[in-house]
Amino acid sequence: MIDTQLIDLVEKTFDGVIAAAATHLGIPRTTLYDQYKAACASLGRSPRKSKGEKRANPTTSVTDTTDDEGEIRVIDVTGMPTNPDTMMSDRGIDPNIWRVYDLQCRDWTAPIGNGVVAHMQHTKIALHRIAWASEQVCPVTPVAPLPRKKPLTPKSANSTTLIIPDSQCALWWSTDRAKLYPCHDRRAMDIALQIAILTQPDKIILLGDMLDLPSFSRKFLRHPRWKGTTNFVLRELYWWLAQFRLACPYAEIIYIEGNHEKRLPDLIMDRAPELLELRRADATFDDPPAISVPNLLALDNLDVQYIAPLKNGLWLWDGAVHVTHEGPLGKRGGQSVAKALDDATFCSHRVYGHTHKRELAAKLMQEYTGTREVWAMSPGTLARVDGTVAGVSPRVDWQQSVALIHNYDGYIPLPELVPIERGFGYFRQDRIQGDTRVEEIAEAINYAPLCVDEMYDDVGAFEAAFGS
């Protein structure tokens, strides 16, 4: 090696660190230093002062922290190169419970002694919890399409519409996160299904707030015990809707958006409006957006029509009945529909949900040609009324029922309320017993620890979270 090459190697390649250059050349450090000094002298210059080695710490330092709620975990490794899979497996982290959502990595080289230059790395991963135990993660079973059947016989002039009010489907973890408590009353939902089987309505209208979506609220506290429940809720509500489709294969089923379903588009609008109309590449603009209630519930599989936005509602029998999720609200029983009748300026009957109270009232309107009866009805809720439903006082004044509207050959549509109380429905001369169906649901959605309708194991925490 000529003198200039030797000097460049020592000074430029190894930044004056003789030991590193000597290791590179495979000769003793002192031998190289002598050669370097001689090369400098031959060029009439003095050697650079040896820098000595800045030694990097070859040992690896690790920090591993989890937030107070146990939802986010950050692992920070400085030292030898690694990768997220190794970082997780080294710490026994189950990938069925934690998923990497962010990775930051920075590389550099540094001498680590005896002239060795090491590849160093700072690696940081952020994980988010997707479940609390491996068995909570179940593979998604594709749902089979269950389309509406076309009736073989001509449609009767008489028709019946079944109205199913706010079920507020939601699940709440037990304190040990081994069970999921329902906020919806499965027995009441089963009674609604039995009424559908008995009456074979032409139309079934889901009056909104079938989903509660507590984790998507922008207004109320999003308690950690709601977190990670939405997938189970979607699958369970899909199961219930499929039961209605199976029970009434010829019925038109319409799902009206409630203020709780609207939590999802509201949140999207707030945070990332672009998501609102985002669709799969193979979707048409008639298909529901990717992140939307009709898409998440696979309503097209069941031939269920979704009506949004919230305020629209729908009109039945050429404007004879207006069906919406929201309507006038009164504090005490009967006051909501009384307000609706006070507000009535035209002769359309009204059905609306949201009140969670079982109410029906009528008034005689004076018209130029005579009198005409107008009624207003709110069929209450199918949520639990035993003090365990989300977002409200544990001492709710709610009632359960479903409603029927009969239209005999274009005559005045007549309302009928079917009261439900403590797992029993009272339909004409029959008492119908509701079943939680919990084993069937757990099997269908592939999640065994679904809980029966028992009280929460920590009502105090529930009250603290949601007030009284």
- Stretch near Fe ion under the rule CB under 5 A, chosen from 127-135, 146-154, 201-209, 248-256: 201-209
Helix (H, G, I), strand (E, B) or coil at 387: coil
Q: Which two tokens stand for residue 54?
A: 């800045």
Q: Which residues is 98 bridged to in the sheet?
A: 129
Query: How far is residue 185's CA from residue 243's CA, in Å, rounded to a whole number?
Result: 16
Sequence-distant (≥ 6) Cβ neighbours of residue 94 within 8 angstroms: 134
Under the criterion CB under 5 A, does residue 258 sit at the interface with Fe ion? yes
Under the criterion CB under 5 A, does residue 257 sit at the interface with Fe ion? no
Identity of the residue, 88 or 183, whose beta carbon is nearer to Fe ion in the bound complex: 183
Identity of the residue, 259 or 305, whose beta carbon is nearer to Fe ion in the bound complex: 259
Q: How far is the CB of 306 from Fe ion (least distance, A)?
A: 16
Helix (H, G, I), strand (E, B) or coil at 224: helix
Identity at 215, one-letter amino acid code: S
Under the criterion CB under 5 A, does residue 209 sit at the interface with Fe ion? yes
Helix (H, G, I), strand (E, B) or coil at 464: helix
Q: How far is the CB of 258 from Fe ion (least distance, A)?
A: 5
- Stretch near Fe ion under the rule CB under 5 A, chosen from 17-25, 77-85, 87-95, 205-213: 205-213
Q: How far is the CB of 91 from Fe ion (least distance, A)?
A: 44
Q: How far is the CB of 413 from Fe ion (least distance, A)?
A: 23
- Stretch near Fe ion under the rule CB under 5 A, chosen from 62-70, 194-202, 255-263, 429-437: 255-263
Beta-sheet strands, E only, within 325-423: 349-352, 358-367, 370-379, 400-407, 414-421
- H/E run at residue 462: helix 459-466
Under the criterion CB under 5 A, does residue 165 sit at the interface with Fe ion? no
Q: How far is the CB of 153 from Fe ion (least distance, A)?
A: 37
Under the criterion CB under 5 A, does residue 392 sit at the interface with Fe ion? no
Under the criterion CB under 5 A, does residue 259 sit at the interface with Fe ion? yes
Q: How far is the CB of 261 from Fe ion (least distance, A)?
A: 9
User: 56-95: which residues touch Fe ion (CB under 5 A)?
Assistant: none
Q: What is the DSSP letter of 136?
A: G
Q: Which two tokens stand for residue 40?
A: 């400098």
Identity of the residue, 354 or 358, whose beta carbon is nearer to Fe ion in the bound complex: 354
Q: How far is the CB of 465 from Fe ion (least distance, A)?
A: 20
Identity of the residue, 209 or 416, whose beta carbon is nearer to Fe ion in the bound complex: 209
User: 266-325: which residues touch Fe ion (CB under 5 A)?
Assistant: none
Identity of the residue, 168 or 231, whose beta carbon is nearer to Fe ion in the bound complex: 168
Under the criterion CB under 5 A, does residue 434 sit at the interface with Fe ion? no
Identity of the residue, 245 or 354, whose beta carbon is nearer to Fe ion in the bound complex: 354
Helix (H, G, I), strand (E, B) or coil at 351: strand
Number of residues that bind Fe ion (CB under 5 A): 4
Distance between the two ends of the chain, CA-based, in angstroms? 86
Query: How far is residue 218's CA from residue 220's CA, in Å, rounded to a whole number?
Result: 6
In the complex, residue closest to Fe ion by CB = 354
Identity of the residue, 261 or 416, whose beta carbon is nearer to Fe ion in the bound complex: 261
User: 317-376: which residues touch Fe ion (CB under 5 A)?
Assistant: 354
Identity at 365, one-letter amino acid code: M
What strand order describes the sheet that includes 414-421? 304-307, 252-256, 203-206, 159-164, 400-407, 414-421, 424-427, 430-433
Q: How far is the CB of 104 from Fe ion (least distance, A)?
A: 43
- H/E run at residue 196: helix 186-199
Identity of the residue, 237 or 248, whose beta carbon is nearer to Fe ion in the bound complex: 237
Sequence-distant (≥ 6) Cβ neighbours of residue 260 within 8 angstroms: 166, 168, 208, 209, 211, 212, 213
Q: How far is the CB of 249 from Fe ion (least distance, A)?
A: 29
Would you mind telling me the total number of residues written for the chain in this entry? 468
Q: How far is the CB of 246 from Fe ion (least distance, A)?
A: 27
- Stretch near Fe ion under the rule CB under 5 A, chosen from 126-134, 215-223, 251-259, 436-444: 251-259
Q: Which two tokens stand for residue 306?
A: 């979704």
Query: How far is residue 163's CA from residue 417's CA, in Å, rounded to a whole number?
Result: 9
Q: What residues line the site for Fe ion (CB under 5 A)?
A: 209, 258-259, 354
